[in-house]
Amino acid sequence: MDIVSSIKRSEMMAGIRNKNTRPEMQVRKGLYALGFRYRLHVKALPGKPDVVLPKYKTVIFINGCFWHGHNCHLFKMPQTKTEFWSEKISKNRLNDDLAIKRLQQLGWSIIIVWECSLKGKEKLKSDAFLNLLTLQIQSPKPIKEIHGITIK
């Protein structure tokens, strides 16, 4: 049972942005401070990556753990409308996979930054995160992920 009305829940969900989110702004500010220059939300590329580093032929997706069903402490399947949310998250994952495959075919490297690396109890320290991001940008691996530390 939800603790707020369905109308209120709908208003709350509609207020969630898909661009210029807090995690996205953190990544962009950090990259800029390190001297990286980038383009934002390039529509010509599959999946409209959040950050594009043309010099490094690298794109960065900053994924919300809830919206992309990440296996971390920030994701919990809602108890109401479970079928709707399961379909929505599955569709998001499928779209992510298709965009990544198409970007790889075009010769781009992909970095996926998970929200849990930037917030919550598993977040990385700012310096550690930026060092890791820099290493990932310079890495020859085609697909890289940055997620929060696992606390046991």
- pLDDT at position 152, please? 44
For residue 126, the SS3 value is: helix
Does 6 map to a domain? no
Residue 31 neighbours by CB under 8 Å, 6+ apart: 38, 51, 53, 133
Task: Give me the domain span that covers residue 39.
Answer: 22-53+66-146
Does 151 map to a domain? no
Does 135 map to a domain? yes
Domain containing residue 95: CATH number: 3.40.960.10
Does 100 map to a domain? yes
The number of domains in the chain is 1
Q: Which regions of 1-130 does DSSP assign to beta strands (E)?
A: 39-40, 51-53, 58-63, 109-114
Does 9 map to a domain? no
User: CB–CB of 58/70 below 8 Å?
Assistant: no
Cα(63)–Cα(142) distance, integer angstroms: 18
Does 94 map to a domain? yes
Q: What pTM was computed for the model?
A: 0.88
Print pLDDT tens along the chain (152 aa). 566 676 765 665 655 666 788 999 999 999 999 999 999 999 999 999 999 999 999 999 999 999 999 999 999 998 888 899 899 999 999 999 999 999 999 999 999 999 999 999 999 999 999 999 999 999 999 999 999 986 54
